[in-house]
């Protein structure tokens, strides 16, 4: 049983190493896709006051990582990125501060 598991992992690594160019292209495709998801959510503005300025993602539950512009999420798959963003509501910085009274200028 354990032998079979080892074998399949080796096979997957071999496939990844075989085509580094495609791997790089896939990384860029994922980045573009995540950016599109990100922008789509932000396009609705703050879910509380409707403001379109200083928008942030406020986690409602199970925060695994911060979602913010300029935040490197290259290691995260599109599926995981989407799942994380699904746990958030878009809030402007002012409304976000109301949710996190301890927050000063830092985005949580």
How far is residue 63's CA from residue 70's CA, in Å, rounded to a whole number?
Answer: 18
Binding residue (CB under 5 A) for Zn ion from 34, 46, 55, 73: 46
Nearer to Zn ion, 78 or 89 (CB): 89
Q: Which is nearer to Zn ion, 67 or 92 (CB)?
A: 92
55 forms part of the interface with Zn ion (CB under 5 A)? no
Site for Zn ion contains 92 (CB under 5 A): yes
Contact residues for 103 (Cβ-Cβ < 8 A; gap 6+): 96, 97
Could you please report the per-residue DSSP string of 53-91?
SSEEEEE-S---S---TT---TTS-HHHHHHHHHTEEEE
Q: Does 49 bind Zn ion (CB under 5 A)?
A: yes
Where along the sequence are the contacts to Zn ion (CB under 5 A)?
A: 46, 48-49, 51, 92, 95
């Amino acid at each position: 049983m354990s032998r079979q598991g080892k074998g399949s992992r080796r096979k997957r690594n071999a496939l990844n190493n075989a085509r580094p160019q495609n791997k790089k292209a896939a990384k860029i495709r994922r980045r573009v896709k995540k950016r599109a998801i990100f922008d789509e959510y932000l396009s609705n503005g703050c879910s509380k006051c409707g403001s379109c300025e200083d928008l942030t993602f406020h986690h409602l539950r199970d925060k695994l990582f911060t979602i913010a512009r300029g935040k490197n999420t290259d290691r995260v798959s599109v599926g995981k990125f989407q799942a994380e963003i699904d746990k958030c509501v878009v809030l402007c910085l002012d409304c976000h501060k109301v949710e996190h009274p301890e927050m000063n200028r830092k985005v949580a």
